[in-house]
Amino acid sequence: MQLPDPSPDALFASRALESLIRQEISSNQNWISFARFMELALYTQNLGYYAGGAAKIGKGGDFTTAPEMTSLFGATLASFVASLNLPTPLRLMEFGAGSGKLAEDFLQAARDIGLDVADYLIVELSSDLRDRQQQRLSHHVEVAWLDAPPSSFSGVVLCNEVLDAVPVPLVVRKNGRWLERGVSFSGEQFVFVDRDVDQAICHQIPDAADLADGYLTEVHPRQEAFVSLLGEMLQAGKGGIAILIDYGFPAREYYLPQRSGGTLMCHYRHHAHTDPFRFLGLQDITAHVDFTALARTGLECGLDVAAYMSQAAFLLSAGLPQWLEKNRSDDTARWLVLANSVQKLTSPAEMGELFKVLLLASRVEIPQSVINSDQSHRL
């Protein structure tokens, strides 16, 4: 695929990151796991995709998230949170807050509907994104930033399009066994090299032994570890809920025989492709989420799988139609923009079906309007 050329400065930074990764590969007998490669490409200080200074989200970046499309996304989340039996003033924690748009929209809607928010905490690994968030949210006294999550928390945890950027190992089926696909350096380029691995790495794959040779996919131990952290944090508190929103599938749909190339994708200036070795540090690298693995881990940590459904089902049952009606306008152009954004969020052909919502709760009741849309049986 032909991609837009980066600027000279961006290309210089990309080559510096490439050199750093080459050094690490060389110091590890010319092989690192793909998860480690992805971690370096995304999070290396000052050079990784999420640690550098380039615009990432919105029209001038590489991809667009739901909050960037319309403020009604954050407003709907505020309505849903207001419907929960949580004590007020409320505490929220958002992981990976992007541009800060979701926090801004949520807090504005909370004021509009009389939801009292005491704290809106943001855990952000990217210093560049944290700087952008602080500029955007400087007038919101409820907002504070954390370097790491606390050991105990009571309230609402928001994770919107966070887990897809968690580094993943790649595994491939060869000669009746699973191998781990890692990265080596040969000549002047990065190459994939497969190595033996403990077969338990594939524990989340249903009927893993029955998949055909050549089947390539991802597994998600760090996503599971993240949910374990959330479980411990919420269980240590007095009650709370984690709202996990991302693109992905339950395991039986994720690991279909037909999905034999996995879900790994790269995003560069609104172009999607599958080559993680291009423009290191300048492109996002993502993998879809296995929601069955997240739900199982949550249960193992003592959380309840309160509900699981498509993004469309969640938004429509949590208050989006009411917010759309409240914002109805005689300005035809403005109304069409708003309606088009809502269509993108809810249409099965856009984000409505591919994106899912998983609610993991500790001592929190979910309103019946949302429970009616629950599809946990698919997990």
Residue-level pLDDT at 366:
96
pLDDT band of residue 55 (cuts 50, 70, 90) is low
Rounded to whole angstroms, the Cα distance separating 370 from 148 reads 31
Residue 155 binned pLDDT confidence (cut-offs 50, 70, 90): very high
Q: Which CATH architecture has domain 66-166+222-254+280-374?
A: 3-Layer(aba) Sandwich (3.40)
pLDDT grade for 270, boundaries at 50, 70 and 90: confident
pLDDT tens-place string over residues 311-355: 999 999 999 999 999 998 878 888 999 999 999 999 999 999 999
Q: What is the mean pLDDT of residues 57-64?
A: 63
Domains of the chain, by residue range, sit at 66-166+222-254+280-374
- Give tens-digit pLDDT for 278-302: 999 999 999 999 999 999 999 999 9
Tell me the HSE value of 108 on the side-chain side, using a 13 A CA sphere: 15
Average pLDDT over every residue of 270-282: 94
**Sequence-separated (6 or more) residues with CB below 8 Å from residue 29:** none
Position 61 pLDDT exceeds 70? no
pLDDT at 178 over 80: yes
- DSSP annotation string for 84-141: S---SSEEEEEES-TTSHHHHHHHHHHHHHT--EEEEEEE-S-HHHHHHHHHHTTT-T
**Conformational region of residue 357, where left means phi above 0, alpha means psi within -120 to 50, and beta covers everything else:** beta
In this prediction, residue 331 carries a pLDDT of 84
Reported as a single tens digit per residue, the pLDDT across 83-99 is: 998 999 999 999 999 99
- Whether residue 63 has pLDDT greater than 80: no
